[in-house]
């Protein structure tokens, strides 16, 4: 299973079938944790997502946070109807096989098992409960070279120059390489977002808000809708942000 560099031209995002992914999910859930699983308690700490991210794969966790992506918006490449969840500066993806109908700003409590999904840390839920609504999470403005393990799971905004043609990776979506003085990052546009990639031109500045994710060794920003992709530099950061 691999994915070539964006600069190498169009390649398939996933080298496995949905059946294989389902089998992998079963394997992850059934694998014994390398550390003693954390007990699930009635009261969840305010930093539950940060605490969960520090646990071993296979640990059962309970997390509470605000939904930063709606259910299913990344389905074409994640093979599920999951959603992003964030609390403070920590976020995580909930790899939900069911459509829980989560909307932006929903406050959600999730119990499930930590798993590695092609490099991305996820929770495979056994219980999903909407416990309220709150103010939507504001994205963190980050430089391109800050998109990595430290930003994974968070809602972020980056700016740069479109440095290559849009790569057709259908049916999964499209890849866009954005570069600046401090490096580059990949923007991955899932088909469910309805984003018009034809309007994205090489050499033009762009500002993108989205979920900070990972596929294999590539870190990505995944926008959620057309509103997340803006032509030009917006906000306070300059070129190469």
Q: What is the pLDDT of residues 187-222, one digit of tens each?
A: 999 999 999 999 899 999 999 999 999 999 999 999
| Residue 50 backbone dihedrals phi, psi, to 5 degrees | -60, -40
Of the candidates 67, 9, 77, the residue with the CA atom closest to the CA atom of residue 220: 77
Work out the average pLDDT over 40-50: 71
Per-residue model confidence (pLDDT) at position 8: 40
Residue 18 — very low, low, confident or very high, per pLDDT cuts 50/70/90? Answer: very low
Q: What percent of the chain has pLDDT over 70?
A: 79
Cα–Cα distance for residue pair 223/209, rounded to 1 Å: 6
Cα–Cα distance for residue pair 59/101, rounded to 1 Å: 25
Burial (0-12, 13-18, 19+ Cβ within 10 Å), 1: exposed
The tokens for 101 are: 């109908």
Per-residue model confidence (pLDDT) at position 234: 74
54 has a pLDDT exceeding 80: yes
Q: What is the pLDDT of residues 25-35, one digit of tens each?
A: 333 334 344 44
Q: What is the pLDDT of residues 139-194, one digit of tens each?
A: 999 999 999 999 999 999 999 999 999 999 999 999 999 999 989 999 999 999 99
Domains, the chain, with CATH or none: 47-133 (2.40.50.200), 140-231 (2.40.50.140)
Cα–Cα distance for residue pair 32/216, rounded to 1 Å: 23
Q: Which residues 6+ apart lie within 8 Å of 237 measured at CB?
A: 141, 143, 159
Q: What is the mean pLDDT of the chain?
A: 84
Burial (0-12, 13-18, 19+ Cβ within 10 Å), 7: exposed
The tokens for 230 are: 């803006």
Per-residue model confidence (pLDDT) at position 28: 33
Per-residue model confidence (pLDDT) at position 164: 94
Burial (0-12, 13-18, 19+ Cβ within 10 Å), 131: exposed
Work out the average pLDDT over 13-21: 39
Per-residue model confidence (pLDDT) at position 43: 60
């Amino acid at each position: 299973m691999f994915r070539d560099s964006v600069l190498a031209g169009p390649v398939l995002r996933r080298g496995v079938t949905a059946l294989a992914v389902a089998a992998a999910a079963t394997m992850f859930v059934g694998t014994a944790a390398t550390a003693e699983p954390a007990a699930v308690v009635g009261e969840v700490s305010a930093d539950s997502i940060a605490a969960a991210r520090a646990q071993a794969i296979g640990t059962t966790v309970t997390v509470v946070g605000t939904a930063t992506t709606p259910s299913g918006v990344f389905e074409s490449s994640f093979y599920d109807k999951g959603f992003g969840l964030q609390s403070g500066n920590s976020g995580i993806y909930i790899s939900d096989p069911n459509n829980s109908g989560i909307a932006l700003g929903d406050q959600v409590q999730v119990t499930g098992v930590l798993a590695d999904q092609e490099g991305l840390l996820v929770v495979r839920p056994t219980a999903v409960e909407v416990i309220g609504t709150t103010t939507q999470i504001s994205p963190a403005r980050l430089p391109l070279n800050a998109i990595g393990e430290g930003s994974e799971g968070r809602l972020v905004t980056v700016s740069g120059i479109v440095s290559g043609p849009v790569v057709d990776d259908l049916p999964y979506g499209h890849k866009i390489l954005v570069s600046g003085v401090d490096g580059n990052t990949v923007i991955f546009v899932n088909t469910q977002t309805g984003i018009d990639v034809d309007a994205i031109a090489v050499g033009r500045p762009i500002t993108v808000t989205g979920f900070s994710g990972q596929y294999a060794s590539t870190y990505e920003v995944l926008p959620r809708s057309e509103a997340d992709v803006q032509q030009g530099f917006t906000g306070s950061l300059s070129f190469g942000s």
